[in-house]
Amino acid sequence: MTDVFRFGVSLDKELLKKFDKDIKNKKYPTRSKAIADLIRESLVKLEWESGKSVVGVITLVFDHHKRGLVKTLTDVQHDYHSLIISSQHIHLDHDNCLEIVISKGNSKKIKELSDRLKTTKGVKHCSLQMASTGEDI
User: Does residue 45 sit in the same domain as residue 91?
Assistant: no
Rounded to an integer, what distance in angstroms lies between the CA atom of residue 101 and that of residue 112? Answer: 13
User: Does residue 110 sit in the same domain as residue 60?
Assistant: yes
Domain-located, residue 6: no
User: Does residue 41 sit in the same domain as residue 95?
Assistant: no
User: Does residue 30 sit in the same domain as residue 96?
Assistant: no
User: Crossing angle for the helix pair 13-25 and 31-50, nearest 10 degrees?
Assistant: 90
User: Does residue 125 sit in the same domain as residue 76?
Assistant: yes
User: Does residue 89 sit in the same domain as residue 117?
Assistant: yes
Q: Which one-letter DSSP state was computed for residue 93?
A: S
Rounded to an integer, what distance in angstroms lies between the CA atom of residue 73 and that of residue 124? Answer: 13
Number of domains in the chain: 2
Q: How does pLDDT run along the chain (137 residues), one tens digit per residue?
A: 578 899 999 999 999 999 999 999 999 999 999 999 999 999 999 999 998 899 999 999 999 999 999 999 999 999 999 999 999 999 999 999 999 999 999 999 999 999 999 999 999 999 999 999 998 88
Q: Which one-letter DSSP state was computed for residue 131?
A: E
Return all residues near 49 (Cβ < 8 A) that are at least 6 apart: 107
Domain-located, residue 40: yes
Domain-located, residue 7: no
Domain-located, residue 1: no
Per the structure, the complete domain to which residue 18 belongs is given by 13-49
Helix (H) or strand (E) holding 54, with range, is: strand 53-63
Q: Rounded to whole angstroms, what are the CA distances from 57 to 1, 12, 73, 104, 106?
A: 29, 36, 15, 9, 13
User: Does residue 36 sit in the same domain as residue 64?
Assistant: no
User: Does residue 31 sit in the same domain as residue 84?
Assistant: no
User: Does residue 77 sit in the same domain as residue 37?
Assistant: no
| pTM to 2 decimal places | 0.85
User: Does residue 25 sit in the same domain as residue 59?
Assistant: no
Domain-located, residue 102: yes
